Amino acid sequence: EIVMTQSPATLSVSPGERATLSCRTSQSVSSNLAWYQHKPGQAPRLLIYGASTRATGAPARFSGSGSGTEFTLTISSLQSEDFALYYCQQFHNWPLAFGGGTKVEIK
């Protein structure tokens, strides 16, 4: 079973600043990684799949990078609507697994 570790648990950022979120997997998942945004009371939203491909409708300020065991989600210039929880998910092996999440909050 692949273990997913996201860091930091909480990231305090000012609007307009850059945010960098990390996801590490316990073994290689190649590029089989997705990122989701989740706001309380709402449906999670797919942002990135294949480690670096933006999903339909995801703003260009969101970008993903990495392969193997180390991955990064970057939000280039934080907007008010970007303050939320972010999860990574590996789809390389069963069971499908999510990271514990990073909360991006207003500084």
> Is the Cβ of residue 83 or residue 91 nearer to other proteins in the bound state?
91
Residue 20 interacts with other proteins (CB under 8 A)?
no
- The Cα 30–Cα 68 span in angstroms is 4
Residue with tokens 């000012």: 14
Q: How far is the CB of 24 from other proteins (least distance, A)?
A: 14
From the CB of residue 91, how many other CB atoms can be counted at a distance below 10 Å? 14
Site string for other proteins, 34-63 (x = CB under 8 A): x-x-x--xxxxxx--xx----x--------
From the CB of residue 76, how many other CB atoms can be counted at a distance below 10 Å? 14
Residue 87 interacts with other proteins (CB under 8 A)?
yes
Token digits of residue 43: 């449906």
Stretch that binds other proteins, among 14-22, 29-37, 60-68, 76-84 (CB under 8 A): 29-37
- The Cα 48–Cα 69 span in angstroms is 16
- Beta-bridge mates of residue 7: 22
- State the residues that interact with other proteins by CB under 8 A: 32, 34, 36, 38, 41-46, 49-50, 55, 87, 89, 91-101
